[in-house]
Amino acid sequence: MRKPFVAGNWKMNTDSHSSVELAQAVANSASGLAGDKVNVALIPPFVYLQSVVKAVKSTGVSVGAQDLYFEAKGAFTGEISPAMLKDIGCNYVLCGHSERRHVIGESDELVGKKVTAAIGGGLLPILCVGELLAERDGGQTEAVVARQLKAGLAGLSADKMSAVTIAYEPVWAIGTGRTATPQQAQEVHVFIRRFLAGMFNEKLAAEIRIQYGGSANAGNAKDLMAQADVDGLLVGGASLKAEDFVKIIQAAA
Ligand code: PEP
**Active-site pick, 99, 106, 169, 189:** 169
Contacts of 56 (CB under 8 A, 6+ apart): 23, 24, 26, 27, 42, 62, 63
Q: What is the pLDDT of residue 245?
A: 98
Write down the pTM of the prediction: 0.97
Please report the sign of the dihedral spanned by the C-alpha atoms of residue 156, residue 4, residue 34, residue 55: positive
**CA 241 – ligand 1 centroid, Å:** 13
Q: Is 96 in the pocket of ligand 1 (CB under 6 A)?
A: no
Output the pLDDT for position 195.
98
Whole-number pLDDT of residue 212: 98
Long-range contacts of 201-205 (CB under 8 A, 24+ apart): 201/158, 204/158, 204/161, 204/162
Q: Residues in the chain with pLDDT < 70? A: none
pLDDT at 177: 87
pLDDT of residue 1: 83
pLDDT at 133: 96
Q: How far is CA 169 from the centre of its chain?
A: 9
Name the 3-class secondary structure at 209: strand
Q: How far apart are the first and last CA of the chain?
A: 13
Report the chain's mean pLDDT, rounded to a whole number: 97
